[in-house]
Amino acid sequence: MIVTKRSLSRRTMLRGLGATVALPLLDAMVPALASANPIPVPRLAFFYVPNGMFPPAFHPAGNGGRNFELTPILQPLEQFRDHLTVVTGLSNSGVISSREGGGVHSRAHSGWLSGRLPKRTEGADLRGGKTIDQYAADTLGLETALRSLELTTESSYRVGNCENGYSCAYTNSTSWRNATSPLPHERDPRTIFRRLFGDGGTVESRLIEMRKDRSILDSVTESIRSLAQRVGSSDRSTMERYLETIREIERRIQQTEEHNSSAPLPEVKQPGGVPEDYDEHVGLLQDMLVLAFQADITRVSCMQMAREQSGQTYPNIGVPQAHHSVSHHQQDPYNVTQYTKISQHQVGLFAGLVKKLHETPDGDGSLLDHSILLHGAGMGDGDQHTPFNLPTTLMGGGCGQLAGNRHLVYDLHTPFMNLGLSLLEKIGVKVDSIADSTGSLTGI
């Protein structure tokens, strides 16, 4: 390919009466002195599992290195070990409270990606911390229709106290836009589909759906501004956050119109709703995430495999007991076995997503080559309820920024937020510090 000094948009179209034709990649679409190969776009996704894991069944033996022996929990990832990095020694000490004995699940969950100790409250005066995924969305979300995509298999509609005086919001949301704004996670694949593609699975139907949102919001924006002039500072802050939501929707519409005027969506079939079967539910949510990455609707996601204190049972793998119950194993061999089966099964479901990303072409590689996926828990050993030596798995190539087939071992209590800084650096996002971070990790 000839490199020229002139450049056309890769999305340039030929338009005629009743017809629009996409052009192939032309010399003029390659900027002067740039590589002829399109620069891959990074994606970043987080997957939260509740109730910790049994450490000896997760962390590989030894002092780290390549060609380590996979532990029982990690066995489902054997096929993709060239994309696998296992991390040992990281802790989230910032979510520990010496004043409060209870609420450990709420603190571990809400602080997993922020490193912040949440405020103990049952009311609306929530306070946590901005999460790693949202730092990423500040940059990666500027060019996509959706800033980020939040998914879950479990939703709680309870309000008020969910654990020892902590609001249910702390276990409902893994992702926080800022210190006072936990993001809602959606469990219905059909609702997610409509958010991504509209009711008909086309660009046109998605824009119609989003314009409905805009028309509704346009009608109330002036009223909100007028009301804000007559209320106190606290209410004005609330109104300003609401207006930020309106501006976000307007930005999404503009980005969608610009991006999808020439970028066709992949063929998709609208799901029917929430399946009763847990495995099927996880698979559908993963399908929605793959499509969102493939169509470049978003580049950042956070998924809850389940909420902290989850009572999900797994009779299909021989575990009829609730997950939370067997996590209190007290070193009983039977409970440890059941606990490990659940963790291994959830990693197996995660491996299903890895496979889908590996099989989805993206530029000169696959979506897996251009993504970084972090799968882990907010507790180390669920029986101890401590955020130490967190089970942490990284998958993907990160556009060449992340090597696989490695077990990395750090000093115990190395801040988990150091990993957060490192992942943000790999996708081109610079953040000076997060919570108790002391710097990016060496060797990652």
Beta-carbon contacts of 147 under 8 Å, excluding residues fewer than 6 positions away, are: 137, 141, 248, 252, 298, 300
Query: Which DSSP letter does residue 251 get?
Result: H
Q: Where are the domains of the chain?
A: 1-39, 42-188+271-426, 202-264
Q: pLDDT tens, 214-259?
A: 544 555 566 666 667 777 776 777 667 656 655 665 565 566 556 5
Q: pLDDT tens, 90-110?
A: 999 999 977 766 899 999 999
- What's this model's pTM, rounded to 2 decimal places? 0.81
Question: How far apart are the C-alpha atoms of 89 and 229, rounded to whole Å?
Answer: 51
β-bridge partners, 408:
87
Question: How far apart are the C-alpha atoms of 40 and 25, rounded to whole Å?
Answer: 15
Q: Which fold has domain 42-188+271-426?
A: Alkaline Phosphatase, subunit A (3.40.720)
Beta-carbon contacts of 329 under 8 Å, excluding residues fewer than 6 positions away, are: 54, 335, 336, 339, 382, 383
CB of 88 closer than 8 Å to CB of 409: yes
Beta-carbon contacts of 63 under 8 Å, excluding residues fewer than 6 positions away, are: 409
CA distances from 298 to 133, 139, 194, 285, 347 (A): 12, 11, 14, 14, 24
Of all helices (H) and strands (E), which one includes residue 22? strand 19-22
Question: How far apart are the C-alpha atoms of 47 and 97, rounded to whole Å?
Answer: 25
For each of the chain's 444 residues, which pLDDT tens digit applies? Answer: 333 344 445 443 333 333 333 333 344 444 544 445 678 999 999 999 999 999 999 999 999 999 899 999 999 999 999 999 999 999 999 999 777 668 999 999 999 999 999 999 999 899 999 999 999 999 999 988 899 999 999 976 666 788 999 999 999 999 999 999 999 999 998 888 888 876 655 656 666 665 655 544 555 566 666 667 777 776 777 667 656 655 665 565 566 556 555 555 566 667 777 888 999 999 999 999 998 999 898 999 999 999 999 999 999 999 999 999 999 999 999 999 999 999 999 999 999 999 999 999 998 999 999 999 999 999 999 999 999 999 999 999 999 999 999 999 999 999 999 999 999 999 999 999 999 999 999 999
